[in-house]
Every structure is written in structure tokens, then in C-alpha cells.
Structure 1
Amino acid sequence: MCGIVGVVGQGGVNQLIYDALLLLQHRGQDATGIVTEQERKFFMHKAKGMVRDVFRTRNMRALPGARGLGQVRYPTAGSAASEEEAQPFYVNAPFGIVLAHNGNLTNAHALRRELFENDHRHTNTGSDTEVLLNVLAHELARATRGARLRSEEVFAAVRAVHQRVRGSYAVVALIAGFGLLAFRDPYGIRPLCLGRGDDGTVMVASESVALEGTSLHLVRDIAPGEAVLVRAGGEVESAQCADHAQLHPCIFEYVYLARPDSVMDGISVYQARLNMGETLAKRVISTVPPSEIDSIIPVPESSRPSAMQLAQKLGLPYREGFVKNRYVGRTFIMPGQSARKKSVRQKLNAIGSEFKGKRVLLVDDSIVRGTTSREIVQMARDAGATKVYLASAAPPVRFPNVYGIDMPTSEELIANGRTVEEIRAWIGCDALIYQDVEAMKRAISAVNPKVTGFEASCFDGRYVTGVTEADLAAMRAGRGSAEEREDAPASRLSLPNAETA
């Protein structure tokens, strides 16, 4: 999960990209980068850290031009510690291309070998974004064969990318002197939308909130398999570049990842979470009688809509029992289990009066590793709760996610290979209630009935792009453990070969 934005404007776009990245900061806190283009020259600044820390006045002044793109990174491939793997990435041939990417390629290991052995292109990092950029560059070179670049050749290159690449990818790229290219994988797993300002500025971004928060208007979502080309003057061309495109957006976007004020593929994230709370209420009633619950308390922030709707359906008081320190990042996307454990009590503090002598139902958006849930349940007990029940607005996370969410191995998932009762005992709550998988899908698709399928592999184990055990093993090896990622060297130089690619 990363956040990406691309802009073609009427004047300097550096501030607009910066503002959009601030609105997408929840999608990645590890690193960020902006590149702009002026007179066929790219200007780039990227580094580890948050948007507000990476870009100072001197950096912004060094980013001139009316076209540009940016990214906030949340690492799921390569090294979290390497500043070289911050995006965007650049290649000088053909034409000069910079690219940023949200998602995860499931066949990156095979593509690296193809790039080296067949395409004679070198990749210097463990990032699958660099792989994707080089595949696009190679296909652009093949499509043009040294001739002048036209829209038809760009779309042909994207068609070839779809044929070679597997996994999830929403992409923004600048082709020097030509325009901004954006495209989405044939299943539309990762989100990407198109907007326009009153002055003719065109923006593509991961979430609609980046458009609305910068005074642009949402035009539409980019379709699965579609490529959109924005020329220097703001003219927009598009083409369907996948043979069998079908929409299967990542369901975890609606559960947790996206901001509630975003709309993705015609689905309001906020309404989806309300609906999930309503269906969860039925599960709660079958497990814990409402008469045995004194109040409903959300675990801030993503679970609030579900908790409010759940409380309304059960006719119980909704209470804010935890105060969040907004200056600590989201624990789910912090690299390293030790960092997550340490941050929970720094991030949340219990309001004693809401727990002392009470039977409380805590509502969280999901339970992934279980460490945070265990800490929060203990916090409620320490604050004086007599009973602590826990409800998850999402079903048990039992399978690795390979499409850009930090769930790389089954061993890290609390629900993998355990019964609900075993999970309850480990977390330490008096009752544990999970959402039903099919009920969750129905609740979200009810907001937009045209969306009939979802990528929900972490819940149901079905990978829409097809994933082999070899793919999973290669991704685990490329990702490494959380602790290894924290201690990874700052940079590396290696040539791929048949044994190591």
C-alpha cells in the first residue's frame, strides 16, 4: 500500500503535489518523493520520512515545472531501510521516464531474470517498482523501434506490460517531453482515480480525497486495465489495454487502508464501514447478549463508523474510551514487530471512567497479528473493565496478502491455523466476534451493486491473479523478516543471475 499522485497543470505543480501527498500520508509513512518536469528535464527529491519532514522550502524551490508526480511509500518489497528504494524511479532510455507505483508484483523474481537475460536491462535494488519501470521502458522501446513516440505506441507498451506483469499495480509515470501516463492492473486491485480542476489542471491519485482536498473535482475512476495519457496541454486520451479486464478491488481498502472520506470505484469508504457495522451486529447478538454489554467503544480510528452503526443496531451507548496521540504513526504499517509493540501504549490512552466497573465491547476494524489487540484488551482491564469483549469488523486474516499489504507470511497472522477460541485465549478477551467473509462482501458491494467481485485473499485464500507456492516463497525471500528490514544496509549493488535473480 502506497499513495501516488500525478499532475499536469497550468503552472508550477510542486505545491499541489505536496498537498496531495499530505492527504495520502496515511497510505505510507516510510519514505516519499516528488519529481517535476520542465523543458524535458526532470527534477527530483526523495528521502525516507514523512512528507512534512522530507520537503523543506529549499527542496520545493528545486522542483520547477508544470508536470510532476509523487509518492508516499509503505514498503512491501525490497528494503524498508534503503533510501535508494524511495520512489519515484528513473531511467534515461527510451525518452526518459520516471515512475511511481502502488501495489506489489507477484512475479517480480521472474521478471528480474527476464530483464537481465533477455532484455539486457539492469536493476539495482530489490524494489519491484524498478522492475516495473524497466519492463515499461523496454516495451516502449519495442513499440517505437526508434521512431517518434505517439499515443498508439504508449498504449501498445502498456498492453505488453499487462501481458508480462502479474500482481497489483496502479502506476503514474512521466515520459519526458510527452506527457503523464497512468494505468491500473487488469483486476483494478489497487485504486486510481482521475480528476480535473476549474483551471484545466488534471490529476490522477490513489484516492478521491487527494482531489477534493486540493479543490479538484473527481471525474471518474480509472478502469481495470485502462491506460490514461495526459498530454502537456491537459488533453486526456485513454484506451483499454487488457484483454480480459474485470474489477476486483482490494477489500482491505474499505476495511482499513483508505480514508473514510474517499470514494473508490463508486463505493463510499465511510458507507461501506457503516454497513460492515450493521452486519457485525448480527454476529455479536449470536455470541454475547446485548444485555451483558454496557457500552460500545471503538479502537481509533478506522473502526469508528462500524462501531457507531453497531451501537445503534444494538441500542447500546457508543463511547470514546481511548484517546489517540496523533503524532504516532499507524501501528499496522510500522516496520518491525518490536516497533508495533512499543507504540501501542504511546499511541492510545484509556479514559478510566469509561471502563471502571463496566462490561465493554471493543470494536476494531481488523485483527492481523493480534499484538495490538492483546495490548488494547489489557489496557481496558487495567482501566477497571469487568468484562472486555472484542469484535472485528473484518473476518479472520488467515492468508498472506501478496498485493501490497504488509501480511507477507502466514506465521505472522494470529488467525492462521488457530480457532477463534484459541485466538480469544491468546488475546485475552472474554469473547471474540469476527465478521463473516460473505457478509462483509455483500455489505460493501451494496454501496455500489456494479462491483460484484473483490480481491479478498487475506480472508478467503483466493488470489485473483493466480499465485504459486514458488511466487510466495520468492516474495518472502525478497521481503525478509521485519527485523531484517529494520537492519538492512542503506544500499547495495548486485548483478542478477540465474541463481540469485
Structure 2
Amino acid sequence: MSDQIKHECGIVLIRLLKPLEYYQEKYGTWRYGLNKLYLLMEKQHNRGQDGAGAVNLKIDQPAGQKYFSRHRSNKANPIKDVFEKINEPFIKQQEKNPELLNDPVYAKEHLPFAGELYLGHLRYGTFGNHSIDYVHPVLRENNWRSRNLTLAGNFNLTNVDEIFQSLTELGQHPKDYTDTVTILENVGHFLDEENQLLFRKYKNEGKSNREISQCIEDELNIREILERSSRRWDGGYAIAGVVGHGDAFVTRDPWGIRPACYYADDEIVVVASERPVIQTAMNVRSVQVKELKPGHALIIKKNGKVTEELVRVPQTRRSCSFERIYFSRGSDRKIYEERKELGRLLAKTILEKVNYDIENTVFSYIPNTAETAFYGMMEGVRREMDQVKKQQILDMGSDIDADKLDKILSLEPRVEKIAIKDVKMRTFIADDDSRDDMVAHVYDVTYGIVKNGVDTLVIIDDSIVRGTTLKKSILRILDRLHPKKIIVVSSAPQIRYPDCYGIDMAKLKDFCAFAAAVELLNESGRTHIIDEVYKKCKEQQFLPKEEIVNHVKEIYRPFTAEQVSAKIAEMLRPEDIEADVELVYQSVENLHAACPDDNGDWYFTGDYPTPGGNKVVNTSFINFVEGNTGRAY
């Protein structure tokens, strides 16, 4: 993505279903689960670079001995930092007494992170700041094991204010106003209530406090806790949690916006944000990895019982299509095919743009994440050209000319590696003009493969969000090759609306499509539409989110997608380049054809799956008009 946007977070939950001695005997190490945690987190490092954290729980640890261990980091390489901290006691034990290090009984009694439950997280922060306090997993502590709670999640909620208010009405005083702390205290409140309900029940039956604690741990209703705590949640989420006595869960939003997959056998239960990382880490086939159903929770009881239970009524599936286009690892077979299809579906339009002049067209891609879509695009181009060749041969009739036939058959699209990303350059020069010049050199180009002033250069990207990198860097870089024309192709449609479910796309003013639409309104004498939309948004500002309508759609209504694309190209083209510039975006219809099972498209269409989305987009527009740079949710 030429304008890199941040990823959603990544989660990992591992429950070992056998004693540590089992893994020591079968796999040669009691650290089997810990090793899998590291592998699963590394394989998802693409999902968050702001921080990482890991928690371990020792089940049935004697009173007075620590049973939760946690390390978190917000350093430059947080996964490495976290596991260096985890491994430090093992290195010391190795130096002191290596035999005891390999003793699973001794390890559980004396070493941190020697337990049966692991929870890992990779963070991209969309709320709060980047301090260590905001790095997951977050922990709520109590002297009763069944009241301890640690959470980690891939989520964004549109109505943190409502949930926060409900907690204060209960008499709570949350320590911070963030989505993470609010969710932790929200779930923690109903965990406390469930504990108290069971305490009263067994107290009335005459049981001792010690007996009651054990009964609570055996009978705690995790499904009920999640059902009650999530009633107000508006947004996308996959939230994992561990309760101090040994119950664990992962719960997913009713629309399936955020992803979660799991694998379970008689030795281990593994949950992660992406299917292929589980396949790789566990060496299992894709059919063995299940998707956690929207509105459900995977619940793993202390006794090892695993169930997938309904928590909230599933809604129309609206899973995030950006997971398919860009965020998730392309090693998933289905995602790989979908990305190729996104490229294939653009082929006919691209050939029309170059008038089928293959001889004078060079195809390539920037950045590397667009490579799969590029393969699909070229497959589509070749298929379209095969039809052209076939028709040309048929047109020859019986008067077949060998030279003409050779020329027709030899016609192939010119595919080249145009841009190579150099060693990452540090653009720390203070002067803005100098910094822009440095940015324009982060890629090097392959000279001599483009015919000066003759060839059209077609470059595919996975999406174009802000267009800043195109304007300040990539178009200037490509112009050094002196093409007649540069056509930039986006395998995603125009991003027109904010996202509020996990992606860092919250401000309307940052989107080149929105800026283009506003400019078109100004040029066509329709600025009154901006004023009318602002008035309608203000009128709805304090309505319940369920009653709010997305009026920002009216900004785009007067124009076709092609008109908006043309204006974007005009606005992004640097004045000092020679080549003409044209932009081609994917259509929403083609997106749905390529990714039929993941049709979340609110950032393209403005059709938000939850009521809170409409509130966010209208607030974002109000912020734009009023010049407010604050958050829209």
C-alpha cells in the first residue's frame, strides 16, 4: 500500500490440555506451548507494531504462589523484547542447574511462564497513546482466583462513551478513559456479579468459604458473563480472556467484522486472528482450522471442556474486506485467490485505457503487497489478449500469412520489475523541502526498459488511501523513466468513509477521494451541498446512534466514480513531472465478486454494519467542517 495504513491487532490464545510432563516426554520440552506462542505471534507480526504482550496462567497453583505472569513491551521490536524477558529466568536456571530447567514439575512450581494457559497480543493503538499501560494483555487483579481477569483483543468500539457512562452509573470509577480499560472493567463487573451470585447460592446451602470458592470455579458461567457484558458493544471485536482459576474464552462480534480462527485436538487448543498462522504453527490442514462463528464465543473450561456457544444473535455477515485485500497474510489459499481475482477483474478496463496497445505498455506493481493482485491482473490481460489474437487470426480467413501469424502469436504483455525499495532511508532532515526530496528516493527504478515518451506505464497498488506517497514520491520516481503516461491501478475501490472498527482511517480530510469530491463540488458551484450536509449532521449529533443516518453520502452523489478518479489523478499529479497521470480504481461490484464471503465495505460505500458507524461518519464530517482534528469516536 503506497500510503501505509496501520493493521488491526493480532491475538493468540493457547490452552494445553495435558500436564506439562506430557509435553516434556512427547516433544522433549515442557515449553511446547510457549514455543507455539512465540511462533504464532511472530507469524502475525504484520498485525501490530506498537507493542506486544504475553500472559501465562498456572492452573491450580497452591495459595501463596504466583499463578499469573505477564510481560509487555512498546519498544521498537516488541515481540523480541517480550520473549527476551520471558527467557531470562530460563537462561539463569540453565547456568545454575540445567537438569531442573528440564523438570516440568520444578518449572511449574518455580519458573514464570511455566503453565497451561497462554495469551499473546500484538498491538496497533487506535485509542489512547502508545505508553506501556495501553499494551495488552491488560489485567484486573483480585485475591479470589475466579475474579482475576486478563484480556487482549482486536477491537474498536464506536460507543466507549456509553459503556463508560454505564460503569460510572454502577458506581465504578475506571482508572482511564480508553476502550481497553472500559471493556476490561465492563467484563470484570459481570464476572464479579456471577461470582457473587454463586457465592450467595452456596452460602445459603451451608458450604464453607473454601468449598464455595471451588464450587464457583467449577460452575462459573462464562457464556452468561459475555452475553451480559457485550449487550452494549457496538463495533468490531475479537476479544480473548483468561480467568484466574483457569477458564478461558475468545468472543467475536455478531457481524463477523474482526477475524478469529481456532484449532483443537486432545493436546492443545489454539486461537489466532488468522488461519494460515495456525496451519503453519501446528502443521495442520486448512480444513482442520475452524472460523469462530460471528456472535459466538469459544469457551475453554478449567477442566478442558471446549465449546463454541452463542453469545449474541448473529447479524448479516459483514467481515472486513480489507483483511482480504491487504491486512491478512497472503499465504491463506482463499485470500491468495481472492487477491488474484481482484487483479483479474481489472484487466479489461486497463486494456481499454491503453487501447489494447500492448507493444507500448509496461506492467508492474508497487509495493510488494500488491504482487498477488499483479499476478491476477496479468493473467486477466493475457486472457483478454488471447481473445484479441483469436479474432485477428479468424479475420485472416483462408488467406493465412505466416509472418502476420508470427506477429500475432508473439504479442505478449511487457512485464517488468520497475521499482525496487532501497534500504530504508532516514528522512530526518529538518527542512520540509529537503525531506520531500529524500522521500522521493526511497525507491530506485530500473532504467532503460521504458521507451521515452512512447510507453504507458501501468502500476498496480493494493489501495490508495491518502495519496500522499503517490504525490510526493512514487509518481516522481516513475517519471524518471520518461513514460508517456502513468496509469496507477488500485485493486481496492475508492476509500470514501472513515473506518471505526479497527483500521487507522478515521478522518475524512485524509482521504484523497473525499478531497476530490469536495473540490468537484467547489468547481461545479455546489458548495451548498457541503453546508446542507453539515446542517443535517449537526441536527443528528445528539440523537441515539440507532436513529442516525449517514448524510455524508450526499457529498459523492452528484459525481460518477470515474469523475472522482479523474479529479484525484489531477490533484495528486506533481506539477514538475512530464507524464500524464490516470487512476483506475476497483469497482465495489467487482470487490464483492472477488470476495463474496467477506463483504464488509463501509469504507467504500458508507454502509456501516452497526448504528455507531453512522454516528462516527457524521461526527467526522462535522470535525472536517469545523477544523477539529480530534477523534470522531
State the TM-score, normalized to the length of structure 2. Answer: 0.67
SS of equivalent residue, structure 2 residue 590: helix
**1:217-265 deviation digits (Å, cap 9, x = unpaired):** 34200000111112346431121111244421101111111111136xx
What root-mean-square deviation, in Å, do the aligned CA atoms of Structure 1 and Structure 2 show? 3.1
Which letter maps to 1:88? P
Residue 57 of structure 1: aligned partner: 84
Deviation at 1:128, TM superposition (A): 1.1
Deviation at 1:412, TM superposition (A): 0.8
Residues 354 and 115 (structure 1), Cα distance of their counterparts in 2 relative to 1, 3 Å cut = farther
Residues 347 and 249 (structure 1), Cα distance of their counterparts in 2 relative to 1, 3 Å cut = farther
Residue 82 of structure 1: aligned partner: 131
Which letter maps to 1:361? V
Among candidates 46, 53, 59, match of residue 72 of structure 2: 46
**1:118-164 deviation digits (Å, cap 9, x = unpaired):** 2514132x431221122111122223434214566210111123311
Unaligned ranges ≥5, structure 1? 330-336, 446-450, 486-500
* Contact 2:608–2:614 (Cα < 8 Å) also in 1: no
Residue 219 of structure 1: aligned partner: 289
SS of equivalent residue, structure 1 residue 458: helix
Residue 411 of structure 1: aligned partner: 509
Deviation at 1:82, TM superposition (A): 1.8
* Contact 1:162–1:225 (Cα < 8 Å) also in 2: no
* Contact 1:308–1:318 (Cα < 8 Å) also in 2: no
Query: Structure 1 residue 116 and structure 2 residue 168: aligned?
Result: yes
CA–CA separation in structure 1 for the residues paired with 2:315 and 2:595: 21
Q: Which moved more, 1:215-224 or 1:359-368?
A: 215-224
Query: Structure 1 residue 437 and structure 2 residue 588: aligned?
Result: yes
CA–CA separation in structure 2 for the residues paired with 1:325 and 1:235: 51
CA–CA separation in structure 1 for the residues paired with 2:224 and 2:83: 39
Deviation at 1:346, TM superposition (A): 7.0
Deviation at 1:116, TM superposition (A): 2.1
Residue 323 of structure 2: aligned partner: 253
**1:28-67 deviation digits (Å, cap 9, x = unpaired):** 1111111111245211111113344423534334433221
Which letter maps to 1:371? T
Which letter maps to 1:376? I
CA–CA separation in structure 2 for the residues paired with 1:371 and 1:350: 19
Deviation at 1:444, TM superposition (A): 1.1
CA–CA separation in structure 2 for the residues paired with 1:64 and 1:87: 20
Among candidates 563, 567, 570, match of residue 422 of structure 1: 567
Residue 490 of structure 1: aligned partner: none
Residues 203 and 138 (structure 1), Cα distance of their counterparts in 2 relative to 1, 3 Å cut = same
Residues 114 and 473 (structure 1), Cα distance of their counterparts in 2 relative to 1, 3 Å cut = farther
Higher strand share: 1
Residues 469 and 184 (structure 1), Cα distance of their counterparts in 2 relative to 1, 3 Å cut = closer
Q: Work out which of the two has the higher radius of gyration on C-alpha atoms and give 1 or 2.
A: 2
Residue 464 of structure 2: aligned partner: 367
Residue 279 of structure 1: aligned partner: 345
Among candidates 119, 140, 145, match of residue 91 of structure 1: 140
Query: Structure 1 residue 235 and structure 2 residue 305: aligned?
Result: yes
Q: Which moved more, 1:99-108 or 1:10-19?
A: 10-19
SS of equivalent residue, structure 1 residue 142: helix
* Contact 1:36–1:63 (Cα < 8 Å) also in 2: yes
CA–CA separation in structure 2 for the residues paired with 1:246 and 1:257: 22
CA–CA separation in structure 2 for the residues paired with 1:291 and 1:343: 35
Among candidates 405, 413, 416, match of residue 319 of structure 1: 416
Q: Which moved more, 1:415-424 or 1:182-191?
A: 415-424
Residue correspondence of structure 1 range 91-240 to structure 2 within 5 A: 91-93=140-142, 95-118=147-170, 120-124=172-176, 126-147=177-198, 148-149=216-217, 153-196=221-264, 200-217=267-284, 218-232=288-302, 234-240=304-310
Among candidates 14, 28, 31, match of residue 48 of structure 2: 28
Greater relative contact order (Cα 8 A, min sep 6): structure 1 or 2? 1
Percentage of identical aligned residues: 24
Query: Structure 1 residue 68 and structure 2 residue 68: aligned?
Result: no
Residues 168 and 468 (structure 1), Cα distance of their counterparts in 2 relative to 1, 3 Å cut = closer
CA–CA separation in structure 1 for the residues paired with 2:86 and 2:619: 37
Residue 602 of structure 2: aligned partner: 457
Deviation at 1:468, TM superposition (A): 5.9
Residue 2 of structure 1: aligned partner: 9
Deviation at 1:455, TM superposition (A): 1.7
Residues 475 and 403 (structure 1), Cα distance of their counterparts in 2 relative to 1, 3 Å cut = farther
**1:331-351 deviation digits (Å, cap 9, x = unpaired):** xxxxxx99x979965754322
Which letter maps to 1:3? G
